[in-house]
Amino acid sequence: MPSASIHVHKFGGTSLADAARIRALGTLLDDGAGSRLVVVSAMHGTTNALVELAATARNGGNWHPAWEALRQRHLQAADALGSDGPHPGGAIAGDFDVLHADAAMLATRPVDADRIEARIHGYGEVWSSRLVQAALGGDAAGWKRIDAREVLVVAAGETGVVVDWAASRERHAGWRAAHGTCNAVVTGYIASDAQGHATTLGRNGSDHSAAIFANLCDAQALTIWTDVDGVLSADPRLVAEAACLPSLSHAEANELAYFGAKVLHPQTLAPLQSRGIALRIRNTLRPHVPGTLVTAHAEPGGAPVKGLSVVRDMAVLELSGNGMAGVPGVAERLFAALHGAGVSVTMISQGSSEHSICCIVRADQAERGRAAIAAAFPPPGNGAPAQSVRATPGICVLAAVGDGMVGTPGVAARLLGGLAQARVNVRAIAQGASERNISVAVADADATRALRAAHAAFWLSPQCVSVGIIGPGQVGRALLSQLDAALPGLRSRSGLDLRIRAIGDSRRMVLSEPGMAPDTALDTLRGEGSQAADLDAFAAHVRAEHMPHALVVDCSASDAVASRYAQWLAAGIHVVTPNKHAGSGEWARYAAIRDAQRVGRSRFRYEATVGAGLPVILTLRNLLDTGDELHGIDGMLSGTLAWLFNRYDGSRPFSALVREAMDLGYTEPDPRDDLSGLDVARKLVILAREAGRELSVADVDVENLVPTGLQHVERGEFLARLDELDAPMQARLEAATAAGHGLRHLARLDRDGSASVGVVALPAEHPCRHTRLTDNLVQFRTARYARNPLVVQGPGAGPQVTAAGVFGDILACVQASRA
């Protein structure tokens, strides 16, 4: 039978968790022509237990309970599997006696302790191979067992084991000569060294074993069966949205494995590559899923970046100094020193100024590397500048991998942009000449956030945004219902995943993980799971380390909340609000908020503070950003006052209209809050500041429509005496009408910086005379719109339109991050 028809299957520990899983494994092996080789890991958790058992024995501790637990587990599995076929229990019990002897020996601190320890680490594969062989029917069913210690010969190398191919090939041929072409179960992970002592291929090494056996028998294919659907675009434990990659080239799989994708041991690809053996990674629990096919060449087209991975526990070594520029051989000396000290280098970066070289090494080798470099660059002693070497631990390397990067511009920009938006500081960056991999070194504490941000930046998953909502009053409630309706579409169409992770009012709050459904968030806040409000804890939860983007929506009318904005913005939390306090309050606080945005690279958006959902601030900002010059603003900025003056034609007294507006819910509970003009003045200040004017409410000339005698009385008394408003207003209306004008309530900002709010008489052709109901209207007079001002008009009040303005700002904050 031609050897090319051998198919190698490898089963990881999770696929061998118990007897039931082991029994099911036979159904996964294709039974076409040719023979099969089944390479097995130890049962799930066994290697960890053995590593610990050996360490305990070596330290003189009590290893017996661990030994007994392992023995029970394996003998029970043997009983379960051996009930209707060959029983592996006897052989396994014998293996446990050997382990017992080894552990006892280790406790006596023998000189060859390392060797015994290595031998102990590998027993799990011996046991599991016996169980699997029995489950497949044993010898009688044509299933032999290969103890890889009798076939594979390896030596320890710098970056993992080095296979002695000649010796291994010879032994494999010997085994085949003795047994012929047959099905066999093979122990993964273990091998022998040149002296014949048992050793291992390093943790997670069964994938490598399988690839070596596939090479030795020139297999037609290798299938690695595991507990995920295949190679995913990122570690699913860190990025829940990671997606299974249907295909990868050998080179891509290699880079991902090297940079930490645990699903494949980094040495797996090389033995397959040299023989062009196809590899498929599949899920034991979901065999109907095709998994990931890894072949010699990438499929043309497709995304430039396929996957991302991170290597943790790294350190930066940096050699810097003026004396290095242009001096030949510095890099050579540095890497020779590291090589000499047995330190392997994961990533190198050197700026073109040549003032420093930095490389990334494993944290546990950093100090050794630093000392070696320091020794290789002694102080020159002739007054020339000395070089300094620094080791910084707490680093991880994030790698973006894909054959499609070759020749695709903008990949690095997208990666770095995504990281910057997530406030991840990049310590070093390197791109391999193959252009198949861009790696960045970032703080280890940022690992998850960086990975998620990069994953979203390449559209491999939706952009995940952590949202906290404060003060869910009417506007907040409307916002939640709009979010509820829009979130599914935002996810699928725009790749945005807004997660409501916190909600709170002045008394209570709920912090949630992974997030609350918008339609039940309020019930959750009112329910028993809420806790006492604490704005610091609230913000800290929203700005979680693992979430790339964070945003607080302040729907309260609280000045105390507004006082937190600067702090939040500086910490990288976007702030969106319809609350006017920050925009119109104390100038120093406003200036601090502006500065904090720069520091935190965050955004402060408040469109809904003026004209609710109308694009008033957006329009002004666009005019100024495109170089127009603002001459002035005239605006009807209060829906209540607009309604009153639209209706006020003298046919009914002004006070009657105020009463009607109250009944319709158009006014504040105390209508003096509208009539005082103060709220309009606040909006005018917000607009003026947007235009770069240092204006405060105190600088605005505000006309209070409430006569002085009524300004400070109780609300009840005020309402009782409401008709005192009528006579003065009547007089103004008559004067205006006589001149052919009508009354409107207007906010005005003039070119000279003066600002006023009050009732004015306007001619019939003025746009403000043509508004409806509670419409707001804002006129921008600018250099470009000099003769005919630019007008923004429409409903400027009400929870739904205000919430829409807030929602628009949320999207503006986070979508700018996706550019």
Out of 7, 8, 14, 186, the only residue in the binding site for ligand ADP (CB under 6 A) is 14
Contacts of 818 (CB under 8 A, 6+ apart): 456, 457, 463, 495, 496
Q: Which is nearer to ligand ADP, 287 or 473 (CB)?
A: 287
CB of 74 to ligand ADP, least distance (A): 17
Q: Which is nearer to Mg ion, 234 or 467 (CB)?
A: 234
Decide if 242 contacts 460 (C-beta within 8 A). Answer: yes
**237 touches ligand ADP (CB under 6 A):** yes
From 197-205, 422-430, 544-552, 592-600, give the range in contact with Mg ion by CB under 5 A.
197-205
Q: Which does 602 bind (CB under 5 to 8 A by kind): Mg ion, ligand ADP, ligand ASP, none?
A: none
Contacts of 225 (CB under 8 A, 6+ apart): 9, 10, 11, 12, 15, 25, 28, 282, 283, 284
Question: What span, in angstroms and rounded, lies between the C-alpha atoms of 244 and 224?
Answer: 15
Out of 35, 129, 226, 247, the only residue in the binding site for ligand ADP (CB under 6 A) is 226
From 47-55, 115-123, 231-239, 703-711, give the range in contact with ligand ADP by CB under 6 A.
231-239
Instruction: Name the residue among 28, 214, 34, 224 with its Cα closest to residue 136.
Output: 28
Size of the site for ligand ADP (CB under 6 A): 19
Q: Which is nearer to ligand ASP, 129 or 776 (CB)?
A: 129
Question: What span, in angstroms and rounded, lies between the C-alpha atoms of 250 and 264?
Answer: 12
Q: Which of residues 28-87 bind ligand ADP (CB under 6 A)?
A: 41
Q: Which does 237 bind (CB under 5 to 8 A by kind): ligand ASP, Mg ion, ligand ADP, none?
A: ligand ADP
Contacts of 259 (CB under 8 A, 6+ apart): 309, 310, 311, 397, 399, 401, 437, 439
Decide if 132 contacts 78 (C-beta within 8 A). Answer: no
Out of 227, 559, 670, 699, the only residue in the binding site for ligand ADP (CB under 6 A) is 227
HEC string for 443-461: EHHHHHHHHHHHHHHCCCC
Out of 129, 133, 192, 204, the only residue in the binding site for Mg ion (CB under 5 A) is 204
**Count of all residues that appear for the chain in the document:** 819
CB of 199 to ligand ASP, least distance (A): 13
Q: Which is nearer to ligand ASP, 208 or 781 (CB)?
A: 208
- Region of 391 please: left (phi>0), alpha (psi -120 to 50) or beta: beta
Q: Which is nearer to ligand ADP, 228 or 467 (CB)?
A: 228
Contacts of 48 (CB under 8 A, 6+ apart): none
Cα dihedral sign for 418, 420, 422, 428? positive
Active site residues: 683
Residues forming beta bridges with residue 350, ordered by sequence position: 357
Decide if 6 contacts 35 (C-beta within 8 A). Answer: yes
Question: What span, in angstroms and rounded, lies between the C-alpha atoms of 163 and 581?
Answer: 70
Instruction: Name the residue among 39, 291, 12 with its Cα closest to residue 145.
Output: 39
Decide if 316 contacts 395 (C-beta within 8 A). Answer: yes
Decide if 810 contacts 467 (C-beta within 8 A). Answer: yes
For 128, half-sphere exposure in the C-beta direction (CA atoms, 13 angstrom radius) is 33
Residues forming beta bridges with residue 576, ordered by sequence position: 553, 605
Which residue in this structure is represented by tokens 């979430």? 547
Out of 70, 106, 146, 232, the only residue in the binding site for ligand ADP (CB under 6 A) is 232
Stretch 676-715: interaction string toward ligand ADP, x if CB under 6 A: ----------------------------------------
Decide if 370 contacts 377 (C-beta within 8 A). Answer: no
Q: Which tokens in the block code for residue 688?
A: 């003026």
Q: Which is nearer to ligand ASP, 13 or 578 (CB)?
A: 13
Q: Which is nearer to ligand ASP, 45 or 808 (CB)?
A: 45
The residue number with the shortest CB distance to ligand ADP is: 12
Q: Which is nearer to ligand ASP, 205 or 291 (CB)?
A: 205
Q: Which tokens in the block code for residue 177?
A: 């000569």
From 6-14, 410-418, 421-429, 773-781, give the range in contact with Mg ion by CB under 5 A.
6-14
Q: Which is nearer to ligand ADP, 237 or 286 (CB)?
A: 237
Out of 45, 85, 202, 236, the only residue in the binding site for ligand ADP (CB under 6 A) is 236
Q: Which does 227 bind (CB under 5 to 8 A by kind): ligand ADP, Mg ion, ligand ASP, none?
A: ligand ADP
Decide if 175 contacts 133 (C-beta within 8 A). Answer: no
CB of 42 to ligand ASP, least distance (A): 4
Q: Which is nearer to Mg ion, 12 or 677 (CB)?
A: 12
Q: Which does 389 bind (CB under 5 to 8 A by kind): ligand ADP, ligand ASP, Mg ion, none?
A: none
Q: Which is nearer to ligand ASP, 154 or 642 (CB)?
A: 154
Q: Which of residues 259-318 bind ligand ADP (CB under 6 A)?
A: 261-263, 307, 309
Question: What span, in angstroms and rounded, lies between the C-alpha atoms of 671 and 217?
Answer: 89
Question: What span, in angstroms and rounded, lies between the C-alpha atoms of 662 and 673?
Answer: 12
From 10-18, 483-491, 561-569, 751-759, give the range in contact with ligand ADP by CB under 6 A.
10-18
Detail the DSSP E strand segments found in 363-516.
Answer: 388-401, 426-431, 437-443, 463-470, 496-504, 508-516
CB of 221 to ligand ADP, least distance (A): 18
CB of 261 to Mg ion, least distance (A): 10
- Specify burial of residue 169 (Cβ count, 10 A radius: 0-12, 13-18, 19+): middle
Question: In the chain, what are the helix, strand and coil shares in percent, each to the nearest 5?
Answer: 45, 25, 35
CB of 234 to ligand ASP, least distance (A): 21
Q: Which does 228 bind (CB under 5 to 8 A by kind): ligand ADP, Mg ion, ligand ASP, none?
A: ligand ADP
From 12-20, 459-467, 527-535, 768-776, give the range in contact with ligand ADP by CB under 6 A.
12-20
CB of 214 to ligand ASP, least distance (A): 15
Q: Which residues bind ligand ASP (CB under 6 A)?
A: 12-13, 41-42, 47, 124, 188-189, 203-206
Question: What span, in angstroms and rounded, lies between the C-alpha atoms of 456 and 776?
Answer: 39
Q: Which is nearer to ligand ADP, 232 or 372 (CB)?
A: 232
Q: Which tokens in the block code for residue 769?
A: 């005379």
Q: Which does 14 bind (CB under 5 to 8 A by kind): ligand ASP, Mg ion, ligand ADP, none?
A: ligand ADP
From 198-206, 246-254, 668-676, 691-699, give the range in contact with Mg ion by CB under 5 A.
198-206
Please compute Rg for the chain using Cα positions: 36
Size of the site for Mg ion (CB under 5 A): 2
**223 touches ligand ADP (CB under 6 A):** no
**404 touches ligand ADP (CB under 6 A):** no
Strands 7-11 and 221-226: parallel
Q: Which does 586 bind (CB under 5 to 8 A by kind): Mg ion, ligand ASP, ligand ADP, none?
A: none
Q: Which of residues 149-188 bind ligand ADP (CB under 6 A)?
A: none
Stretch 415-434: interaction string toward ligand ADP, x if CB under 6 A: --------------------
Q: Which is nearer to ligand ASP, 152 or 415 (CB)?
A: 152
Q: Report CA-CA distances (Å) from 599 to 594, 683, 778.
A: 9, 26, 33
Which residue in this structure is represented by tokens 């904005």? 565
Q: Report CA-CA distances (Å) from 236 to 136, 226, 232, 454, 455.
A: 32, 13, 7, 14, 11
Residues that bind ligand ADP (CB under 6 A): 12-14, 41, 204, 226-228, 231-232, 234-237, 261-263, 307, 309
- Where on the chain is the footprint of Mg ion (CB under 5 A)? 12, 204
